[in-house]
């Protein structure tokens, strides 16, 4: 028993130590948005590198800590080595941040990002030109709107963005059922149920009425109101109006977003946005991990342990080179 316990302590120390080191290196900061105090971390470049700029990270859906439970660390390491500072914060109601992220619309999230940008620029004297945003997944309904009307942001990177909220939900459902071995008929029934669910949301029912109308596995009250605020999100027009240099990346093994469709839309666009570059990364998941090793829609504890063990080796081979090359060509 004692030996087993010591082994467990040793293994966990291997996983947790890199996260602990990052936390020690970071400067803890608080900024205000809508009367809430948001808790963030600022990390300077490593190895005495001259700071090229600051990269502000914008989260996916869910209750996310500033470092996405350690996932961001494996990306930050290489960025910091190349001279970029990093800023990221706990979502409202997560960690030491006050509030509740489930109360936010995508417009609220846009306002929050702009508050973070203003705070960091004032504190560290970054200019719009060397201030960049890097967003993941749900940030696709946050950042494009900012990138077409703000002049205090120099560039943007989007990873795993979807154009339309409901369309993405249909793809997610279809893929989930196909992975579970569902028949074509079962998939079609589920997609039809989703369509009826969309009409249900259009009715703007109270939560009590929603519970009476929906079947098994209802959303929590907070989640229901969050979805009610955001399920009509669509970024297509925002994409067309982006007016800062932007890199959009998708993984060809994405199980959450129809990455190939999103990528192909840009190739077929009649009026391409000259500010935007797009790439489809081979063998990459929704989170730019190696798709052949991280082949599920939801990230469980076992996969997290594997990620902590592999570190940067978990990332799709072409992901960081593509990101670093684009940054170097534009901001090196």
- Residue spans in the chain of domains classed CATH 3.40.50.1820: 26-163+235-331
Calpha distance 304→239 (Å, rounded): 32
Q: Which fold has domain 26-163+235-331?
A: Rossmann fold (3.40.50)
3-state DSSP helix/strand/coil % of the chain, to nearest 5: 50, 15, 35
Mean pLDDT, range 187-201, rounded to an integer: 90
Cα-Cα-Cα-Cα dihedral of 144, 149, 154, 155, to 10°? 20
Distance set, CA 66 to CA 40, 43, 159, 176, 290 (Å) = 6, 12, 17, 28, 23
Is 332 buried (19+), middle (13-18) or exposed (0-12) by CB count in 10 A? Answer: exposed
Q: Which pLDDT belongs to residue 8?
A: 41
Q: Average of pLDDT values for 249-256?
A: 97
9 — pLDDT class (breaks 50, 70, 90): very low
Over residues 285-305, the mean pLDDT reads: 91
| 69-85 residue pLDDT tens | 999 999 999 999 999 99
CA 239 – CA 253 distance, rounded (Å)? 23
Q: With bands split at pLDDT 50, 70 and 90, how would you rate the model's confidence at 24?
A: low
């Amino acid at each position: 028993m004692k030996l087993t316990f010591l082994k467990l302590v040793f293994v966990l120390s291997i996983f947790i130590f890199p996260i602990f080191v990052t936390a020690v290196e970071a400067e803890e900061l608080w900024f205000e948005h809508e009367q809430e105090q948001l808790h963030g971390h600022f990390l300077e470049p490593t190895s005495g590198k001259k700071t090229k700029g600051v990269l502000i990270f914008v989260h996916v859906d869910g209750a996310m800590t500033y470092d996405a439970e350690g996932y961001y660390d494996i990306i930050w390491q290489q960025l910091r080595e190349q001279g970029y500072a990093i800023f990221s914060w706990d979502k409202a109601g997560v960690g030491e941040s006050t509030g509740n992220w489930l109360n936010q619309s995508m417009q609220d999230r846009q306002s929050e990002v702009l508050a973070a940008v203003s705070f960091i620029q004032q504190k560290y004297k970054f200019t719009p030109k060397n201030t960049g945003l890097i967003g993941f997944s749900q940030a696709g309904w946050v950042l494009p709107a900012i990138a077409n009307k703000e002049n205090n942001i120099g560039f943007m990177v989007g990873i795993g963005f979807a154009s339309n909220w409901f369309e993405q939900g249909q793809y997610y459902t279809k893929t989930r059922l196909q992975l579970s071995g569902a028949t074509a008929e079962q998939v079609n029934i589920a997609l039809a149920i989703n369509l009826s669910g969309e009409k249900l949301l259009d009715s703007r029912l109270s939560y009590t009425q929603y519970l009476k109308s929906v079947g098994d596995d209802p959303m929590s009250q907070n989640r229901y109101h969050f979805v009610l605020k955001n399920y009509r999100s669509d970024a297509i027009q925002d994409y067309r109006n982006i007016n800062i240099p932007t890199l959009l990346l998708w993984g060809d093994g994405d199980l959450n977003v129809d990455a190939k469709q999103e990528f192909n839309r840009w190739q077929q666009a009649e009026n391409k946005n000259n500010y935007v570059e797009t790439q489809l990364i081979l063998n990459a998941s929704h989170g730019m991990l190696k798709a052949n090793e991280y082949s599920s829609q939801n990230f469980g504890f076992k996969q997290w342990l594997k990620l902590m063990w592999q570190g940067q080796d978990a990332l799709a081979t072409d992901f960081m080179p593509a990101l670093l090359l684009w940054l170097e060509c534009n901001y090196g």
